Structure 1
Amino acid sequence: MSATTRRPLTLAAAVATAVALGATALATTVASTASAAEVPLSGYELTWGIKQSYRTYVTGMAAGTFTPADGATQAANNGAFTFTEGTGTYDSTAHTVALGFKGGLKIASALHRFELTLSDVKFDSKAAKITADVTQSGATQDDVPLADVTVTQAMTDMATKLTPEAATVFGSSSYSGAAGDPLTVVKKTPESPSPSASPSTSTSPSVSPSPSTSASPSASASASASTSASPSPSQGASESASPSASPSDTATAPVSGDITDGTLGWGVKQSFRTYVVDGVAKGAITTSAGATQAAGNGVFTFVDGSGTYDTDAETLSAAFAGAVNFKGHEDNGSYGLDLTLSDLKATIDNGAGELTADVESLGETSADVVLADLTTDAADLVAENDVITLSDVTATITAAGAKAFGDFYPTGTQLDPVDLSVALSEGAELPGGDGGSASTGGSGTSGGTTGGSSGTTGSTTGGGTTGSTTGGLTGGLAATGAGVPVGALGTAAAVTVAAGAAVVLAVRRRRTDA
């Protein structure tokens, strides 16, 4: 046998010997402390808010309540829930914890006609899941998986992702795969001495996600950022225009005067459209009086703009025809959600402005409600070919707008952007032709009573979350068996295994060098 052949065999034998020594020491240690395989745990607390946007939806638009019981509590200002007196075991071989918690949570809305109770909440770091018993309509389903968890060693602020089962429990298909609130599991009371140290689940770096703050519905939360893209001209919205125009372009338009036509493109908020059509509301969106909606539960276009402008003073005031109705939560012909927006107006003054509408909700009408504050990218109002175009105007919901949407979104939430085009002379051509020919039709509906359709994408039910409803989180870091806790395993065994690992590393390096 050549020297070249013998060296890998010798190195392999060394590795096997080191690993065997580590395994022998580990087996000896575990045998000498048999009770350390499953160390009893007690006095733990679990804090999880499900999803901030869901909490906002329940207490806002649904006019519902959360009622903790049997030791569970809820933080102030509609905050997260804490379940107490957690007991279970720590597996010192797999380095995982399994805990069950005391407390229940009743979630109910008479307006939107739902009632459910969560109890027997459990956290299993090996499975990387949160489960609970769910009671609805008098029937209880045990151990329903509500969220996948990205487990960290500290077990604080762990990222969660809602499951398809959670989407069914909470009544929205858009919740499946959506980011939930972060999860924290901590020890709150002293525990009797045991040979193990505090349970460790993984040596992977902690992932500390921020809780979503948008009123999904999310929230997401989070401070919510609008997830809808600017509508294309084929959807009846405006194209981006150059911020400046040549003298020949602007010379034909007076510096001030009357607006002869115009279109306003606005989707309200993509998450709200998703909520109505594909979410909890299981409803429909209907446009009328000349307004249209783009295909695929897209944005709305309001038409026949009229008003005044002054390019020297940098002011514009325009009103638009058309209405859009959001209807859902039907029960025997009556609706818990019946909201109509009409007579939309946009005003701009030196780069800032307001978006107003007449709001009719469940038969009550309020005129000229300021729904959003507007901010343009540029202060200058520039006419090109007798048309002023403003694209991607930032819209932020006002306190009055939040109230109009049943506190579905907190004040300051960013809504879908506004696209605005107005003609300054008869015959001036607006972007996209007449601004509505490519849309779904003035009286079309979106969604019908599909309830579970997945034709639209975007934020989660309740408008809370920003971004996509799908997350890239992976659960179960502790399930890999990484992260040996020296205190629980035994110092001698840990040192021996570490020595074996060092030999393996050395062999890898030598092979690389060779």
Structure 2
Amino acid sequence: MAANRRPITLAAAVATAVTLGASALALPALAADGDKAAPPKFELKNGTLDWGLKDSFRKYVAGMAHGTIEATDGAQQAAGNGVFTFTDGTGTYDSGPTHATDVAFKGSVRFVSKIHTFDIKIADVKVHTTGKTGAIRADVTLNGTTQNDIDLAELDLGAVGPGRGDGGAMVFKDIPATLTADGAKAFNGMYAKGEKLDPATLTVTAGAPVTEEPTEKPTEPTKPPKPTVDPTEPTTEPTTEPTDKPTAEPTAKPTSGTEEPADKVVEGSLSWGLKQTFRTYISTGGSVSVAGGAKKVSSGYTFPYAKADVDSDAKKVDASFGGSVRFRYKAHGIDMRFSDLKVRANGSAGTLLVDVRTPTGTKNDVKFAKLDLSKVSYVPKNGVVLFDKVPATLTKAGAQQFVNRGTRPYEPGEKLDPVTLALSSKAGAGLPAGGGEAGGGEAGGTGTTGSGSVGGGGSVGGGSVGGDTGSLASTGASVPSTALLGAAGAAVAAGAAAVFAARRNRGY
């Protein structure tokens, strides 16, 4: 019977390589009997880090932004706008309790766009790990202003095992990387902790022990203080005697946990923001208008009830909503209108359907988003069936709506804003407000930057929206320099449209 295997972390693999002499090491410091010296550190050398930062951002810079990407000072970029390799990595592995590794690499990468007025440089890249976790750090220079040693990415080594490279090197391939809380803060809060970045591949070779001179003389150990209280004696007596009777009668009779299904729906509402970073992108130079009873709220938009069928016993819902929301960004050739929203739910899964109109035409009943209903209840409470903040992800058909010039900037599975659905069998039952109103009619985008990337695998959609100036797909927007700290975040963190979310205080 095969034995269960636990994931091997970077530190564990380095320790194994050192112990087994993967680099032809003899380790007298570890072998000496009775040696009480601190566990030694070992050299790490010939390291490389293969990391693309964010694929959608590279595509945006080389595409719609008409910019340049330059890898220098020892860094290299793979052909076809590929990932970057940072070279000549050197550092240490601590064989003590922390098992920490620190590796610094040569090379820098610079992203420049004269049209969108940004100049971003990523340099002095380092990798630090402890156990199964780690971080990628770097200096980020934005339009001449540098922030040093920002933790850009958190690394998860829990399921990454080492492979063998040339000369006995250990290769840790495709380490999952996500944006850190510090990184999100450094990028002006436009991205949230946990944003997915490109995976990283780390290669290191174990070297010789590192000798260090002690900086201070050892001190005599101090005697522990005597306990002031006898641990065997209780410190206090119980203050009250337990009572047999309950202190209060129950205020309400228990219910069976079920109610009659809402056979007839008379009221309803749907709240959805599409994608917060997309709304923010539009706000940099475009406009949003609502019509047909749809309203702007702080979390996005609400759509008026049209009709619905609910079967709580069968766990099925089929609901339709009126109103529309239209996103326009003339300078970037964007004009997209979403209307006739429908929610079809069956058990733990559901679909959000929409009609999408662009300058190329209208596509009806597009299965735009998958809904995760695993945590919702179909049982009405006070006459209302409520699906609150249901997770939504882009479908293949939804991603296809943003295809432009043969490229698909959004990939299926991209996180969208959550959906809130409320259906009532009683008039005036009190439906959720869906957030405070942000005003109607023509206006800029209503949201602030959100947690979703603008393009986990792609960037903000390049949509089927005609126009030579580009489209959502490549995250186009004019980008004045003042808020390009967010662009640095986008450079390292998450894709395209959000790049513009914090870039400008002025319009073009």
Question: TM-score, normalising length from structure 1?
Answer: 0.48
TM-score by length of 2: 0.49
Q: Which has the higher contact order (CA 8 A, sep 6+)?
A: 1
